[in-house]
Chain A
Amino acid sequence: MAQFSSRIWREFPQRYRLEASKFKKSGKTYYPPRDIDPTNGDTENEIVRLPDTGKVVTYTVIRVAPSQWGDQSPYALAVVEPTDGTRVMVQMTDCDVEEVKIGMEVRLEFRRIQTEAHSGVLSYGHKAVPKWF
């Protein structure tokens, strides 16, 4: 479905640079960034970037996909835990979906995520690829 481009644009820091918020009191990091630390209500935080490697915590293979992703179906979707212990949900790409496993080491790569029809705006972000170097 068409998304007005301001909605995509607003998320660029998180999607393009994997920016997260790290809170002063608890030391906890949240992705996407939050204004309030749910553990203690703290609002003092700094922007940090997630590490670009991590492992698969859980996954699925979407075989009946919205037509938006028809060109890439079936695709694996995973909860990935970067090495700082945060968690992100991303697509897996550049891999045989049958090879995806819990615990698999992955790298987060910059990819095109959504293509709005033939003429709409392109959305970029990160996907996970099997770590091989």
Chain B
Amino acid sequence: MRDVCIVGVGMSKWGEVWRRSFRQLFVDAASVAIKDSGVDHLDSLYVGCMSGGLFAQQEHVGAICADYLGLAGLPAMRVESACASGGMALRAAYIEVGSGVSDIVMASGLEKMTDVDGDGATAALAGAADQEYEVFHGATFPGLYAMMAHAHMARYGTTSEMLAAVAVKNHKNGAKNPVAQYPFEITVEGVLNSVMVADPLHILDCSPITDGAAAAILTTEEIAKKLGKPYVKIVGSGVATDTIALAQRDDLTTIRAAGMAAERALRMAGKKLSDVQFAEVHDCFTIAELVVLESLGIYEPGKAGPATVAGETSLDGRFPVNPSGGLKCKGHPVGATGVAQAIEVYKQLTGQAENGRQIPGSPKVGMTHNMGGSGASSVVHIMEVA
């Protein structure tokens, strides 16, 4: 494998973007990334998109994105792994550049989620669960993670306050992120008093429904140097899967695929977990951040909650988690999230994080963890300063 670098990034507006369509959101993010990187062409395009079909009745995502970017003719392909689609698109682009097949590849992600009503969005997202044996019985995503939360609480004494601390911390970070959907701070009381969605998860334990796109330009170090822009290296990529249905997992308090993906990414990078200084992780629900941190091995089982309350995962903590504000605050356009996580790590490693959101001490190695469904797929990337 050749070294692969991220040399430019771009994001559309994130939130309820009523005035931009599915294709326009992609064009917004992709145009910024191309300009930011300074590349004069692309060799191919990957678009992470969970459900263009159910959210916008639009399949054939690779073609429409290339077309409206003004690049009809470009090799383009959609990548899908539910909410991990963006991270998987990044991996596909990484492998294509690393293998030498192409020199300049765009990894992007896209989801337009507000052109359907609440039932429509719930039904589309439910496609990431086991339709016949979970969704059939009335399972929703908050419900699936809530069941993990109850199991975690029963086993480790995790509390609703610990869950709320995750949301509070992420909003504190995201309040400084110009692209965040909900850029304001919240309090533990605010979370605990918010409406209960699926016990024990309140609405403020949940990531929102978001329209948005994100794009990154991947290329060789040689080209990155020539472009003369800040760049970082992707040094490891790992993917793992698990049973689609939650009930079939022996342990409902860990997400096994997250740990396996991290182990593979670290092995590829030739690094130890302790070399990683911060992470963007998939906090689709507050409990997910805690379970993922434990499954990745960053914390012992049951210890991520107390560590969050103690501030260890805050921007100035021992191991900052979700400096971007995470899915919780920044928003979660499901196909775009994985790419946006990489953009945040890129910004942190190149010192470009806005508004005092920069992690102190110029970190050198960061990690992204992006996850599909209730943890049936995970993709982890390790990134390092060039």
B150 and A59 contacting across the interface, CB-CB below 8 Å:
yes
Q: How far is the CA of A64 from the CA of B246 in the complex (A)?
A: 20
Q: Which residues of B contact A58 (CB under 8 A)?
A: 147-148, 150-151, 154, 252
**A: number of interface residues (CB 8 Å):** 33
B138 and A75 contacting across the interface, CB-CB below 8 Å:
yes
Within the complex, the shortest CB–CB distance from B20 to chain A, in Å, comes to 26
Q: How far is the CA of A1 from the CA of B125 in the complex (A)?
A: 13
B123 and A1 contacting across the interface, CB-CB below 8 Å:
yes
Is residue A77 contacting chain B, with contact meaning CB distance below 8 A?
A: yes
Interface of A is mostly: strand
Q: How far is the CA of A59 from the CA of B252 in the complex (A)?
A: 11
Within the complex, the shortest CB–CB distance from B253 to chain A, in Å, comes to 9
Is residue B183 contacting chain A, with contact meaning CB distance below 8 A?
A: no
B199 and A61 contacting across the interface, CB-CB below 8 Å:
yes
Is residue B362 contacting chain A, with contact meaning CB distance below 8 A?
A: no
Within the complex, the shortest CB–CB distance from B4 to chain A, in Å, comes to 33
Given A63-B199, A69-B138, A113-B137: A87 and B247 within 8 A (CB)? yes
Q: How far is the CA of A90 from the CA of B134 in the complex (A)?
A: 8
Given A58-B252, A64-B198, A77-B138: A89 and B150 within 8 A (CB)? no
Given A64-B197, A64-B198: A89 and B151 within 8 A (CB)? no
Within the complex, the shortest CB–CB distance from A60 to chain B, in Å, comes to 4
Is residue B259 contacting chain A, with contact meaning CB distance below 8 A?
A: no
B140 and A91 contacting across the interface, CB-CB below 8 Å:
no
B136 and A113 contacting across the interface, CB-CB below 8 Å:
yes
Chain A, Cβ-Cβ closest to B196: A63
B136 and A123 contacting across the interface, CB-CB below 8 Å:
yes
Q: How far is the CA of A43 from the CA of B133 in the complex (A)?
A: 22
Is residue B139 contacting chain A, with contact meaning CB distance below 8 A?
A: yes
Within the complex, the shortest CB–CB distance from B131 to chain A, in Å, comes to 9
B252 and A79 contacting across the interface, CB-CB below 8 Å:
yes
Q: How far is the CA of A109 from the CA of B197 in the complex (A)?
A: 26
Interface centre among B133, B148, B197 (most CB of A within 10 A): B133
Is residue B132 contacting chain A, with contact meaning CB distance below 8 A?
A: yes
Within the complex, the shortest CB–CB distance from B130 to chain A, in Å, comes to 8
Is residue B142 contacting chain A, with contact meaning CB distance below 8 A?
A: yes
Is residue B122 contacting chain A, with contact meaning CB distance below 8 A?
A: yes
Contact with B along A77-115 (1 / 0, CB 8 A): 111000000011111000000000010000000000110
Pick from B151, B198, B248: contact of A102, CB under 8 Å:
B151
Is residue A65 contacting chain B, with contact meaning CB distance below 8 A?
A: yes
Within the complex, the shortest CB–CB distance from B192 to chain A, in Å, comes to 15
List A residues 38-83 near B (Cβ within 8 Å).
57-69, 75, 77-79
Chain B, Cβ-Cβ closest to A7: B132
List B residues 128-168 near A (Cβ within 8 Å).
132-134, 136-140, 142-143, 146-151, 154
Q: How far is the CA of A89 from the CA of B248 in the complex (A)?
A: 9
Question: Hey, which bits of chain A sit against chain B, CB under 8 A?
Answer: 1, 7, 11, 30, 32, 57-69, 75, 77-79, 87-91, 102, 113-114, 123, 125, 127
- Nearest first, the 9 A-B pairs at minimum CB distance are A60-B146, A58-B151, A61-B199, A87-B247, A89-B247, A58-B147, A60-B198, A79-B247, A64-B197
Query: What would 12 A/B residue contacts be, using CB atoms closer than 8 Å?
Result: A11-B132, A58-B147, A58-B151, A58-B154, A58-B252, A63-B196, A64-B195, A77-B139, A77-B198, A87-B247, A91-B137, A102-B150
Question: Hey, which bits of chain B sit against chain A, CB under 8 A?
Answer: 119, 122-123, 132-134, 136-140, 142-143, 146-151, 154, 195-201, 203, 245-248, 252
